[in-house]
Structure 1
Amino acid sequence: MTAPLTPHNNQPPHEPHDGENPPPPDEPHDPWAAPGSGTGATAGSGGPELARELREGVVIALLVAVCGVLLGVLWNWLAPHTPLISDTKAVYLKNTEGEEAIGTDGTFILLAVAFGVLTTAAVFLFRRRGGIPLVVALVVGGLLGAVLGWLTGMWLGPMADVAAHAKQVGPGVTFDGPLRLGAKGALVAWPVAAMLTQLALTALFAPRDPEPPHPDWSGQYGQEPPAAHGQEPPAA
């Protein structure tokens, strides 16, 4: 009888020689992962992009807020003013059944909605994409613009001191009351309109994200590879 053959240097056949690196273990393959989408390639890539979007959001919010000055000018021009009249003792409404106060609030709301839609459409045409920083910038800028328009309209309107204004014009003379916003909830009409408009434009016209590649499931269920051209498949 002969002794069994022993590998060189008494090393097991399955162990590598000294100085040789073992082959790396096979990593599980994700069929839904896009090519070149390793974790090391994307680490830290969102920092500069997020910082740029935040800077653009601040600029957009300031530009939208400045448009509130034009809102105040139009509100003072288009809104109905409340006529007042005074005697030697007090100031009264000239038309006790008038609806000027409701018309003033309604005019502000309609103008704010229009400004929200127009400013959002202009920003979307400039950027052609959405994102949370952009929506936040439009909402914050719209709210600041509505407040600025409200203050501008009151400043451009008639005197806020009704008693001094009545004394200035004299008793029995009709004069316009101060421009006031009765429903303070009208200030959110601009940001709400901007947010809804941005969501609608993004859903309709924003570029779609590319679809992930379909996984290749061939050979996963015991299917044999097709035979090469000009060769017959092996007999069973």
Structure 2
Amino acid sequence: MPITETFHGFIETTTDTLLIFEACRQGILPKINRRLQERERGAVKSGTVFVFDEKESGIKRWTDGLVWSPSRILGNFLIYRELDGRELLDEKASNLSSMSNNRLYADEYKTSDRERALVGSLTDTYKFKKGGLIKKTLSIQVNGSSQHLISYYTKEDVLNGKLATPSSIPEIASVQISPDLFMQQNFRIPLSLEYPEPFNKRLSISSNDSSAVSRRRSSVFYMESSHPYMDAYSGCMIIREDVCPQET
């Protein structure tokens, strides 16, 4: 039976991610339960979103057949950019590219705040595929089980408004996020910084849970808002990582 994508759109914020995870838990959206087969990898396109539970699916490492840059941290997410090939640009090519990229890839360097929130801090060390996909991932722990969200988009589709976010779709935005889904996580960036609407409005919490959520948010807010790597423009933490194992 062919795999069905969990959602089609753009995952903009951690809140969007939690809405998708909660919708999957409530059976509103489907999770996938196996790896993509080779013949199914062509279905990965801009707007595709997959969610899987590690224990239920047996998936330990996600593969999609595309060639990706090393990961970079963008807020609570990891992002990757699709490459033209695996070769690392040599020093000469890198120097030449720094001179010519303003002409060839000017849109990627004259980045607005909005664009930077889509591509993060990835550099020209690798040759990015022009018009290629960006992969954005986030993992959470729920009752000892790892759950993963893998999303794909192109910068152009997002900037042109072709992909809706979960928060903009009433059927998904109205989902009440269970507090245990939120409170079991240790996010780098608290949702109070990332999303302007008070997050408690999206939680299905009792009076007993409310004070605990408030204490957690207050302490995390203080810690993260003073972090030296906080991006003052986007409210996201953007940190370069060392090269991670390449996903294929």
Superposition TM-score tier, normalisation by shorter sequence: under 0.3
More helix by share: 1
State the TM-score, normalized to the length of structure 2.
0.21
Larger Rg: 1
State the TM-score, normalized to the length of structure 1.
0.21
